[in-house]
């Protein structure tokens, strides 16, 4: 089943091949003309997925290949690699792709306790939210290994489990031609497993997309409600809130039998901001027992959080605050906003 790491040889080759790539593209999204898309995608949508990134040696080249093919994909990132390469995770989102959860450390999840599973998934949720401003809705277990305990942890975190309908075998030394051939077996709604680590996989992008187009199929997003590939709705791409504005993104980072921890990521828009104010709206009878990294005030179920210190953020920069919610039997996810003076 899909491996996590390349062989030492492959890693060395890729590092040389991509050694010159040091910039992170933040250009326009790979959006297609809607009029063209409607006609071209008459047979439906499939999902291109790339696991185990982001990788400093390959992600940028993969993003370039996808942009050149005008294709959007879903990246199942590990939390550990997002923490190491936050700019690459952000570049995935900026380029119009979808980011999803592939655990923190790529373990065999079914060998873990429920608490360890929760830790793997919730830490990754918050690392991705912090790096990209997007809280994932999809989770792919490493190696496709799952069980009922894992599925209940996923459900608690609002994650839909996604496996695949076609395995490209790129992790198993498949050639570019073999990866392209695997993609040719995709049916509408289907999902192909690939990895963000292999030059063979990157080289397959143009032919995969051309062959899909010839069959009336287009790369789409994975629906969190059905788990199938559907037309993109653009919903996971954070829009620039505008100069002087900010966005707030919520992620649940831990849950116990009676309470959960929430984390809010505040992100500045395309210009620096000098301060911010965030609201967190709870559902009665929930109550907040503790907060950190901010100064709260209250009005009923609405907590208003202000920064400790001056709250200034440079363009695109983020900061976070957190809180513990006593559920009192209600597990509704808080809603959050951000505003600037």
Least separation in angstroms between residue 168's CB and Zn ion is: 13
For residue 261, give the 3-state DSSP assignment: strand
Nearer to Zn ion, 168 or 261 (CB): 168
Tell me the closest approach of the beta carbon of residue 265 to Zn ion, in angstroms: 25
- Cβ count near 251 (within 10 Å): 27
The residue among 193 and 273 lying less far from Zn ion, judged by its C-beta, is 193
Chain positions contacting Zn ion, by CB under 5 A: 2, 51-52, 142
Closer residue to Zn ion (CB): 100 or 303:
100
Q: What are the strands, taking DSSP E only, across the chain? A: 44-51, 74-77, 98-101, 138-139, 160-161, 166-167, 191-195, 217-219, 221-222, 229-230, 246-255, 259-268, 277-281, 287-292, 295-299, 302-306, 318-326, 335-339
| Token pair of 196 as six digits | 């963000």
Q: Which residue is nearest to Zn ion (CB)?
A: 51
- Complex with Zn ion: residue 52 or 252, whichever CB lies closer: 52
Tell me whether residue 103 or residue 340 sits nearer to Zn ion (CB atom): 103
- Report, in Å, the least distance between residue 15 CB and Zn ion: 20
Q: Give whole-number Cα distances, 236 to 42, 117, 134, 196, 214, in Å.
A: 23, 25, 6, 20, 27
Whole-Å CA distances, 207 to 194, 231, 243, 293: 14, 20, 39, 49
Task: Specify whether the CB–CB gap between 136 and 76 falls below 8 A.
Answer: no
- Taking the complex as a whole, the smallest distance from the CB of residue 3 to Zn ion amounts, in Å, to 7
Smallest distance, Zn ion to C-beta of residue 222, A: 16
Cβ distance to Zn ion smaller for residue 48 or 305? 48
CA dihedral sign, ordered 179, 233, 333, 90: positive
Residues classed as catalytic: 51, 195
| Nearest of 34, 317, 49, 338 to residue 179 by alpha carbon | 49
In whole angstroms, the minimum distance from the beta carbon of 164 to Zn ion comes to 11
C-alpha span between 158 and 262 (Å, rounded): 13
Of the candidates 175, 233, 231, 230, the residue with the CA atom closest to the CA atom of residue 207: 175
Radius of gyration over alpha carbons of the chain, in Å?
20
Nearest-angstrom CA–CA distance, 99 and 202:
18
């Amino acid at each position: 089943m899909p491996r996590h790491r390349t062989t030492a040889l492959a890693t060395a080759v890729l590092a040389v091949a991509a050694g010159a790539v040091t910039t992170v593209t933040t250009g326009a999204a790979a959006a297609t003309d809607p009029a063209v898309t409607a006609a071209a995608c008459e047979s439906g949508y499939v999902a291109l997925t790339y696991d185990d990134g982001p990788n400093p040696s390959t992600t940028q080249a993969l993003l370039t290949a996808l942009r050149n093919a005008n294709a959007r994909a879903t990246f199942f990132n590990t939390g550990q690699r997002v923490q190491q390469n936050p700019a690459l995770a952000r570049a995935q989102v900026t380029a119009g792709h979808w980011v999803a959860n592939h655990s923190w450390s790529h373990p065999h999840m079914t060998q873990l306790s429920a608490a360890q599973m929760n830790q793997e998934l919730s830490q990754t949720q918050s690392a991705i939210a912090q790096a990209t401003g997007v809280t994932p809705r999809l989770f792919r277990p490493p190696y496709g290994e799952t069980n009922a305990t894992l599925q209940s942890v996923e459900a608690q975190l609002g994650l839909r489990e996604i496996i695949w309908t076609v395995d490209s075998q790129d992790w198993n030394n498949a050639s570019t031609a073999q990866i392209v051939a695997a993609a040719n077996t995709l049916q509408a709604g289907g999902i192909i497993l690939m990895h963000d680590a292999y030059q063979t996989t990157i080289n397959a992008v143009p032919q995969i997309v051309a062959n899909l187009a010839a069959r009336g199929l287009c790369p789409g997003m994975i629906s969190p409600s059905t788990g199938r590939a559907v037309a993109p709705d653009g919903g996971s791409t954070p829009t620039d809130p505008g100069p002087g504005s900010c966005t707030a993104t919520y992620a649940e980072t831990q849950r116990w039998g009676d309470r959960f921890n929430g984390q809010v990521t505040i992100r500045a828009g395309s210009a620096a901001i000098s301060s911010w104010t965030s609201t967190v709206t709870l559902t009665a009878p929930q109550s907040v027992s503790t907060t950190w990294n901010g100064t709260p005030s209250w009005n009923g179920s609405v907590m208003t959080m202000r920064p400790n210190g001056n709250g200034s953020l440079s363009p695109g920069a983020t900061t976070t605050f957190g809180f513990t919610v006593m559920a009192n039997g209600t597990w509704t996810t808080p809603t959050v906003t951000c505003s600037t003076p």
